[in-house]
């Protein structure tokens, strides 16, 4: 009697395992398509509201080459199409949207003194996407059940997707929370070193900001201060990695 039962139990367990894997895979792919949709909506919104800058060809190529080196060592490079867009704004800032849309202000490009400094900031932004910080916050705010409903009726959900895009943009201004920022710093340093840059460069960048602001709020760096943990603490943590 025992043997036939065992014969049944094992295939059943195997079936359950396989189906839970496909089930998870199914939801992962739905979530990925939603992330791309939200990111694209938010990207359109940003590029309508801000002036997109076309740099002179050699500068553009140099910037995109730095960016590609970093994307190539990131973990989600196969499932996402990372893009980098320069926007006109004199403040020193960069930000990322779900789906891999990274933006950098002209003010940051002017402030950076080397390719490595730019790489350090871009690596931090890529890390936010790679670690899904934006999507996790959106899931937390709206609940996965609601997001799944949206995916299933995607064609009629344009308006709702637009609203979620607005949340994604808002998050880039509010930040993803202290822990997510430290995680993006850690992964950022990992990506930049894997891509052949020196972590000293990103430390130089933060130390210069600290020097110029004395750690106090300054309109030119306001965004970086409001969305990120204290600069001195970040420097300390990056040095300790
Ligand atoms: Zn950040």
Q: What is the pLDDT of residues 191-233, one digit of tens each?
A: 999 999 999 999 999 899 888 877 676 666 656 656 677 788 8
Q: How far apart are CA 144 and CA 14, in angstroms?
A: 27
pLDDT band at 176 (very low <50, low <70, confident <90, very high): confident
Tens digits of residue pLDDT in 128-146: 999 999 999 888 888 878 8
Contact 137, 176 (CB under 8 A): yes
pLDDT score at 61: 97
**What are the backbone dihedrals phi and psi of residue 86, each rounded to the nearest 5 degrees, phi first?**
-95, 130
- Per-chain residues with Cβ under 5 A from ion ligand 1: 181, 184
- Segment 117-134 shows an average pLDDT of 96
Ligand 1 center to residue 106 CA distance, Å?
Answer: 18
Ligand 1 center to residue 103 CA distance, Å?
Answer: 12
Q: How far apart are CA 69 and CA 197, in angstroms?
A: 10
Going by C-alpha positions, the residue among 120, 4, 110, 136 that lies closest to residue 53 is 110
pLDDT score at 177: 85
Ligand 1 center to residue 228 CA distance, Å?
Answer: 6
Q: How far apart are CA 202 and CA 124, in angstroms?
A: 10
Tens digits of residue pLDDT in 63-100: 999 999 999 999 999 999 999 999 999 999 999 999 99
pLDDT band at 158 (very low <50, low <70, confident <90, very high): confident
pTM of the full structure: 0.84
């Amino acid at each position: 009697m025992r043997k036939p039962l065992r014969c049944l139990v094992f295939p059943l367990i195997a079936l359950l395992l396989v189906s839970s894997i496909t089930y998870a895979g199914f939801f992962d792919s739905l979530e990925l398509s939603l992330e791309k949709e939200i990111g694209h909506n938010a990207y359109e919104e940003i590029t309508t509201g801000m002036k997109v800058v076309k740099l002179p060809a050699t500068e553009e190529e140099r910037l995109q080459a730095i960016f590609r080196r970093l994307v190539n060592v990131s973990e989600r490079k196969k499932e996402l199409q990372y893009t980098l867009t320069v926007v006109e704004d004199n403040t020193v800032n960069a930000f990322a949207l779900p789906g891999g849309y990274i933006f950098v202000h002209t003010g940051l490009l002017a402030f950076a003194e080397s390719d490595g400094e730019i790489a350090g900031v871009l690596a931090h932004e890529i890390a936010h996407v790679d670690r899904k910080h934006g999507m996790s916050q959106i899931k937390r705010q709206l609940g996965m059940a609601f997001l799944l409903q949206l995916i299933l009726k995607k064609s009629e959900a344009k308006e709702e997707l637009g609203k979620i895009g607005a949340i994604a943009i808002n998050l880039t201004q509010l930040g993803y929370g202290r822990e997510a920022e430290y995680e993006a710093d850690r992964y950022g340093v990992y990506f930049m070193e894997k891509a052949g840059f020196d972590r000293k460069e990103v430390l130089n960048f933060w130390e210069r900001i600290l020097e110029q602001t004395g750690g106090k709020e300054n309109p030119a760096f306001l965004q970086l201060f409001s969305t990120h943990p204290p600069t001195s603490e970040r420097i300390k943590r990056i040095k300790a990695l």
